[in-house]
A and B are shown apart, each in its own frame.
Chain A
Amino acid sequence: MSARDVRHLYVHLPFCAHRCGYCDFVTLVGRRDGHGAYVDALVQELELERGLLADRIETVFLGGGTPTFTDPAALARLLDALPPADEVTVEANPETVTPELASLLREGGVTRVSLGAQSFEPRLLEVLERRAGPDDVRRAFYHLRDACFDNISLDLIYGIPGQSPSDLDRDLSAAIALEPEHLSCYELEAKPGTRFTHAWGDELLVQADAMEAYFELVVERLVGAEYRWYETANFCREGRQARHNVGYWLGRDYLGIGIGAVSTVGGLRWRNAPKLAAYVSALAAGKPPPRDLEELDTSTRLRERLMLGLRLDEPLALAEVGAAVDPEAFERLRRLGLVREADGGLALTKRGRFLGGGVTAELFVENPAKTYN
């Protein structure tokens, strides 16, 4: 573990007013009375791990759950305890964003807000069991602008049961009209065995067939509106990349605190257990919370570097990842016009980016040791 070098900090705030049907994050509904104790525990974990962090860190990301559903006093205390950073992002659900909350965030040093819009179509928001309507999204957006936030991201989901291509087109128009600095667009991932998948099985199959056209539409509309398609699912105005997430995609180390949070430092990755009570009581006793450890060997790290790096629109230095790349597969994919070599770097072509997962899997060298010979 390289101490005092980690420049990216993730903080998990699991509380939500309600669990959306499709959600698979670590979330806890209600429990308002527990927010203060949880924040105490977060601060304690940060204190325990502070030795890992660089003197000046680059980014902090508060994700959830619904971070903005956290009790305001507890949230303010947390923001106050966090180390200063160039970019501090908070995820927010539209219905939680009031003028008061916006200024609380602003005063707490938050520089960027990621707003979970998902759709502007009431019918589809209902399918997703989202509480906010389209006007709530707009209202939240303006409250944030009023509080002088000049870096706002909107999340959209496509492939929602009942969605048509023209629904998606209208969602994209509505999002573009708000002129956010950043957009994240994900296909709906319905996990097998969940209540949501059970309820929408057949319609999910219909949507799966339409997914490739949706993805093409998203890229076409947003690139057409002069957003940069800088990552597989992320679009931004020039210079407005999500710096925290770019850290992940560049394979940088990060510290995650809170239940279910993952850290990767050096060759070690650990995940805090997702149980609230065990987390709070361990830290109250001054001990680290229960964790799963995963050791990452060199070849695994290289594969991850390749997988994450190829999500970005800039070439990946072959000197760095070459050992993870199967040269025959590279040549085959190059002939198919899916990958290219640019300035000693490996990059996906435009069509290659639409097939990035499959292309990456194919590029994985079978036995990394082989290429060292």
Chain B
Amino acid sequence: MPLDRIRNFSIVAHIDHGKSTLADRILELTETLSGRQMREQVLDSMELERERGITIKAQAVRVIWKGHQLNLIDTPGHVDFTYEVSRALQACEGAVLLVDAAQGIQAQTLANAFLAIENGLEIVPVVNKIDLPQADPDAAAREVADLVGDDVAGVLRISAKTGEGVGDVLDAIVERVPPPEGDPSAPPRALVFDSSYDQYRGVVAFVRVVDGRFETRQELRAMAAGTRFEAEELGFFSPGRSPTPTLEAGEVGYVVTGLKDVSRLRVGDTLTSARGGAAEPLPGYKDVKPTVFSGLYPTESDDYPELRDALEKLKLNDASLFYEPETSQALGFGFRCGFLGLLHMDIVRERLEREFDLDLLVTAPNVAYRVFTKSGQEVEVHSPADMPPDPERVDEPYIRATTIVPKDYVGTVMELNNDRRGRFHHMEYLSEERVMLAYDLPLAEIVYDYYDQLKSRTKGYASFDYDIIGFEEGDLVRLDVLLAGDPVDALSLVVHRSAAHARGKALVERLREEIPRQFFDVPVQAAIGSRIVARETIKAKRKDVLAKCYGGDVTRKRKLLERQKKGKKRMKQVGQVEVPQEAFLAVLNLDGDKK
């Protein structure tokens, strides 16, 4: 296909603004899929994606519209996957910016629109859901036009649900989005913007060809990783895999590599031919680092090998997942896992539980700390239990948080951010009613209960997004919990010194409620170093008997005691104290709902 007949675009939108529905309608209208093959959210193939209405993995589908080849690259919309989004956007020349006519611009709309503009993409602004009774297409169109610096008349108005205006969107893509630039006769170069793992065929790379042409059976090289492999199959998605002998400059498709390890072909890398290949890789490759960590332990310690296998398998499909073995006195053998963010953590946990049928205990998440010891060493600490007792300095990651709220909630959000050690950055009125607030905050404050607080304090009206901006020094201390005098490593926290007392107090109170009474008094203490900052006592049980037991009751009563024994086995033995799994989650929401 000549370059001027190709258009590569993506759709960027806030969650639930109709991205997947629009993609479905495009597949129908271009007759890529017959009505019979249609189902909701065709491109979101993972069960979890359909359920949550989000896209986790990028997808690329080729459609034909009025003699043009349009490649739709569907991207994950969430902040945790910003790097993946930016790679996917780099594979495009244009982006449809989709905004809900009832809700207007939201935080993710902004983040993704800025990403698209930064990547030099032509924006096609579209207001969706104009069929909704509460829609205000004029107001939404004004907001979008202001955002992209365009004329309100250029904003398309559609209903992806009914199909109204979807053809106009495709026309606008052909008219407004520039064709890809590239040199069809240069040595081949292609950007890897995502990959998936097929258990029979190995790593499948999703690529955008920039220069030259790739052929089946050609020997290829990944320029950053240095990995060599043969292109076992080339093809494009429609939306299933369609093999093709070649992929040419400007086209989007896939390469079956036969590689058995995703880490050997990372997102952002450049593919070229192994012999006579390009000299320069495409720009922008970056090794993404996890920002949020937590301990994952099997509920039944016998399941440790299953958890290890499951993490290995997930990692095949998710190169950004990090894990290393960890041993906790309280929880036994498990893994310290690193994630791109809280959503990523949630998704990994859910996939482990659903796809691998594992019962997991997830410790409270924490961020990565950079610790400088008195001896002048710098270490990265991923777990509060590894925090050295007397560091010279501790740096913690900071974010720039963008919050969009109706103006009545500005004070509320400011108060929350100030409580969380936030620094005001700037504020902007998006319209008369809606305000965008930018704050710099320690990431650790977001990890701890921030979303729930923001949601409840703004009655759900706030939308929120963030970017990591770097590391800064913090006055941080390690808060330990002792049960009957024994420290419990899995309950340690790193907190700001000013909050240590209050958190310690809330934590021991919560633990007193969560840990059942034992055969003896159990002191619950919170300590900074050797200094106890809070204490509660779980009073010993005074009665634990089966009221009566005669000939007819024996089987039932025996089963009761056997269950009681089993219940005890499920608890974690910490020194002399039996601690239920739930107690390890108590640190997660100390201010939240109490039982």
Tell me, yes or no, whether A10 is within 8 Å of chain B by CB: yes
Quick one: given A248-B554, A260-B552, A362-B565, are A187 and B547 in contact (CB under 8 Å)? yes
**In the bound complex, do residue A303 and residue B562 qualify as a contact, i.e. CB atoms below 8 Å apart?**
yes
B555 nearest CB across to chain A (Å): 6
B351 nearest CB across to chain A (Å): 32
| Stretch of B114-122, B451-459, B528-536, B537-545 with 4 or more beta carbons under 8 angstroms from chain A | B537-545
Which residue in chain A gives the minimum CB-CB distance to B576? A332
Tell me, yes or no, whether A211 is within 8 Å of chain B by CB: yes
**In the bound complex, do residue A269 and residue B555 qualify as a contact, i.e. CB atoms below 8 Å apart?**
yes
Chain A residue numbers with a CB within 8 Å of B551 are 8, 10, 248, 254, 256, 262, 264
**In the bound complex, do residue B561 and residue A245 qualify as a contact, i.e. CB atoms below 8 Å apart?**
no
**In the bound complex, do residue A262 and residue B545 qualify as a contact, i.e. CB atoms below 8 Å apart?**
no
Quick one: given A245-B550, A256-B552, A366-B569, are A356 and B558 in contact (CB under 8 Å)? no
Which residue in chain A gives the minimum CB-CB distance to B554? A304
**In the bound complex, do residue A356 and residue B544 qualify as a contact, i.e. CB atoms below 8 Å apart?**
yes
A312 nearest CB across to chain B (Å): 11
Interface string of B566-595 (1 = CB under 8 A from A): 001100000010000000000000000000
Taken together as a complex, chains A and B put the C-alpha atoms of A359 and B568 apart, in Å, by: 12
Interface residues on A, range: 35 or more
Which residue in chain A gives the minimum CB-CB distance to B546? A357
In the complex, given contacts A216-B543, A233-B545, A366-B569, what are 18 additional A-B residue pairs having Cβ atoms less than 8 angstroms apart? A10-B552, A189-B547, A213-B542, A232-B546, A233-B547, A254-B551, A260-B552, A262-B552, A262-B555, A264-B554, A269-B555, A303-B558, A307-B554, A308-B554, A355-B541, A357-B561, A362-B565, A366-B565
Chain B residue numbers with a CB within 8 Å of A336 are 519-520
Tell me, yes or no, whether A338 is within 8 Å of chain B by CB: yes
**In the bound complex, do residue A311 and residue B549 qualify as a contact, i.e. CB atoms below 8 Å apart?**
yes
Chain B residue numbers with a CB within 8 Å of A66 are none
Chain B residue numbers with a CB within 8 Å of A189 are 547
**In the bound complex, do residue B543 and residue A304 qualify as a contact, i.e. CB atoms below 8 Å apart?**
no
Chain A residue numbers with a CB within 8 Å of B544 are 354-359
**In the bound complex, do residue A361 and residue B555 qualify as a contact, i.e. CB atoms below 8 Å apart?**
no
**In the bound complex, do residue B565 and residue A212 qualify as a contact, i.e. CB atoms below 8 Å apart?**
no
Taken together as a complex, chains A and B put the C-alpha atoms of A304 and B555 apart, in Å, by: 8
**In the bound complex, do residue B558 and residue A361 qualify as a contact, i.e. CB atoms below 8 Å apart?**
no
**In the bound complex, do residue A364 and residue B519 qualify as a contact, i.e. CB atoms below 8 Å apart?**
no
Option from A233, A260, A294, A300 in Cβ contact (under 8 Å) with B548: A233
Tell me, yes or no, whether B412 is within 8 Å of chain A by CB: no
**In the bound complex, do residue A300 and residue B542 qualify as a contact, i.e. CB atoms below 8 Å apart?**
no
Taken together as a complex, chains A and B put the C-alpha atoms of A40 and B247 apart, in Å, by: 92
A-B pairs with beta carbons under 8 Å apart, 11 shown: A187-B547, A213-B542, A215-B545, A248-B550, A262-B552, A271-B552, A294-B555, A357-B544, A358-B541, A360-B561, A361-B568
Chain A residue numbers with a CB within 8 Å of B561 are 303, 307, 357, 360-361, 364
Taken together as a complex, chains A and B put the C-alpha atoms of A353 and B541 apart, in Å, by: 12
A11 nearest CB across to chain B (Å): 12
| Contact residues, B492-551 vs A (CB, 8 A) | 519-520, 541-551
B296 nearest CB across to chain A (Å): 26
Tell me, yes or no, whether B431 is within 8 Å of chain A by CB: no
**In the bound complex, do residue B565 and residue A354 qualify as a contact, i.e. CB atoms below 8 Å apart?**
no
**In the bound complex, do residue A357 and residue B545 qualify as a contact, i.e. CB atoms below 8 Å apart?**
yes
**In the bound complex, do residue B543 and residue A364 qualify as a contact, i.e. CB atoms below 8 Å apart?**
no
Interface string of A123-145 (1 = CB under 8 A from B): 00000000000000000000000
How many chain-B residues does the 8 Å CB contact rule pick out? 26
Taken together as a complex, chains A and B put the C-alpha atoms of A311 and B557 apart, in Å, by: 12
Taken together as a complex, chains A and B put the C-alpha atoms of A301 and B546 apart, in Å, by: 18
A54 nearest CB across to chain B (Å): 17
Tell me, yes or no, whether A186 is within 8 Å of chain B by CB: yes
Chain B residue numbers with a CB within 8 Å of A216 are 542-543
Tell me, yes or no, whether A261 is within 8 Å of chain B by CB: yes
Which residue in chain B gives the minimum CB-CB distance to A338? B519
Taken together as a complex, chains A and B put the C-alpha atoms of A271 and B553 apart, in Å, by: 11
**In the bound complex, do residue A361 and residue B545 qualify as a contact, i.e. CB atoms below 8 Å apart?**
no
| Partner-B contacts on A (CB < 8 A) | 8, 10, 184, 186-187, 189, 211-213, 215-216, 232-233, 245, 248-249, 254, 256, 260-262, 264, 269, 271, 294, 300, 303-304, 307-308, 311, 332-333, 336, 338, 353-362, 364, 366
B573 nearest CB across to chain A (Å): 10
Taken together as a complex, chains A and B put the C-alpha atoms of A355 and B560 apart, in Å, by: 15
Taken together as a complex, chains A and B put the C-alpha atoms of A166 and B195 apart, in Å, by: 74
Tell me, yes or no, whether B244 is within 8 Å of chain A by CB: no
Tell me, yes or no, whether B329 is within 8 Å of chain A by CB: no
Chain A residue numbers with a CB within 8 Å of B576 are 332
Option from B541, B542, B552 in Cβ contact (under 8 Å) with A261: B552
**In the bound complex, do residue B549 and residue A211 qualify as a contact, i.e. CB atoms below 8 Å apart?**
no
Tell me, yes or no, whether B564 is within 8 Å of chain A by CB: yes
Which residue in chain B gives the minimum CB-CB distance to A215? B543
Taken together as a complex, chains A and B put the C-alpha atoms of A212 and B541 apart, in Å, by: 8
Taken together as a complex, chains A and B put the C-alpha atoms of A276 and B545 apart, in Å, by: 33
Which residue in chain B gives the minimum CB-CB distance to A365? B565
**In the bound complex, do residue A354 and residue B568 qualify as a contact, i.e. CB atoms below 8 Å apart?**
no
Which residue in chain A gives the minimum CB-CB distance to B567? A361
Chain B residue numbers with a CB within 8 Å of A260 are 552
A229 nearest CB across to chain B (Å): 12
Taken together as a complex, chains A and B put the C-alpha atoms of A332 and B546 apart, in Å, by: 22
Taken together as a complex, chains A and B put the C-alpha atoms of A307 and B541 apart, in Å, by: 19
Which residue in chain B gives the minimum CB-CB distance to A294? B555
Closest 6 CB pairs of A and B: A358-B544, A212-B543, A212-B542, A361-B564, A262-B552, A361-B561
Taken together as a complex, chains A and B put the C-alpha atoms of A357 and B568 apart, in Å, by: 13
Option from A211, A308, A362 in Cβ contact (under 8 Å) with B543: A211
Taken together as a complex, chains A and B put the C-alpha atoms of A148 and B542 apart, in Å, by: 41
A126 nearest CB across to chain B (Å): 22
A109 nearest CB across to chain B (Å): 21
A21 nearest CB across to chain B (Å): 17
Option from A8, A262, A264, A308 in Cβ contact (under 8 Å) with B549: A308
Chain B residue numbers with a CB within 8 Å of A245 are 550
Taken together as a complex, chains A and B put the C-alpha atoms of A345 and B548 apart, in Å, by: 23
Taken together as a complex, chains A and B put the C-alpha atoms of A248 and B548 apart, in Å, by: 12
Chain A residue numbers with a CB within 8 Å of B546 are 232, 356-357
**In the bound complex, do residue B547 and residue A186 qualify as a contact, i.e. CB atoms below 8 Å apart?**
yes
**In the bound complex, do residue A355 and residue B564 qualify as a contact, i.e. CB atoms below 8 Å apart?**
no
Taken together as a complex, chains A and B put the C-alpha atoms of A366 and B562 apart, in Å, by: 9
Which residue in chain B gives the minimum CB-CB distance to A260? B552
B568 nearest CB across to chain A (Å): 7
Chain A residue numbers with a CB within 8 Å of B557 are 307
**In the bound complex, do residue B519 and residue A357 qualify as a contact, i.e. CB atoms below 8 Å apart?**
no
| Contact residues, B239-277 vs A (CB, 8 A) | none
Which residue in chain B gives the minimum CB-CB distance to A248? B551
Taken together as a complex, chains A and B put the C-alpha atoms of A10 and B558 apart, in Å, by: 20
Taken together as a complex, chains A and B put the C-alpha atoms of A356 and B547 apart, in Å, by: 10
**In the bound complex, do residue B558 and residue A307 qualify as a contact, i.e. CB atoms below 8 Å apart?**
yes
Taken together as a complex, chains A and B put the C-alpha atoms of A353 and B568 apart, in Å, by: 19
Taken together as a complex, chains A and B put the C-alpha atoms of A72 and B555 apart, in Å, by: 33
Taken together as a complex, chains A and B put the C-alpha atoms of A356 and B519 apart, in Å, by: 11
Chain B residue numbers with a CB within 8 Å of A212 are 541-543
**In the bound complex, do residue A354 and residue B552 qualify as a contact, i.e. CB atoms below 8 Å apart?**
no
**In the bound complex, do residue A354 and residue B549 qualify as a contact, i.e. CB atoms below 8 Å apart?**
no
Chain A residue numbers with a CB within 8 Å of B560 are 357
Quick one: given A254-B551, A264-B551, are A304 and B542 in contact (CB under 8 Å)? no
Chain A residue numbers with a CB within 8 Å of B543 are 211-212, 215-216, 354-355
Taken together as a complex, chains A and B put the C-alpha atoms of A362 and B571 apart, in Å, by: 13
Chain B residue numbers with a CB within 8 Å of A362 are 565, 568
Chain A residue numbers with a CB within 8 Å of B562 are 303, 361, 364
Taken together as a complex, chains A and B put the C-alpha atoms of A248 and B554 apart, in Å, by: 9
Chain B residue numbers with a CB within 8 Å of A361 are 561-562, 564-565, 568
A97 nearest CB across to chain B (Å): 22
Which residue in chain A gives the minimum CB-CB distance to B563? A361
Taken together as a complex, chains A and B put the C-alpha atoms of A354 and B544 apart, in Å, by: 6
B241 nearest CB across to chain A (Å): 51
Taken together as a complex, chains A and B put the C-alpha atoms of A269 and B555 apart, in Å, by: 9
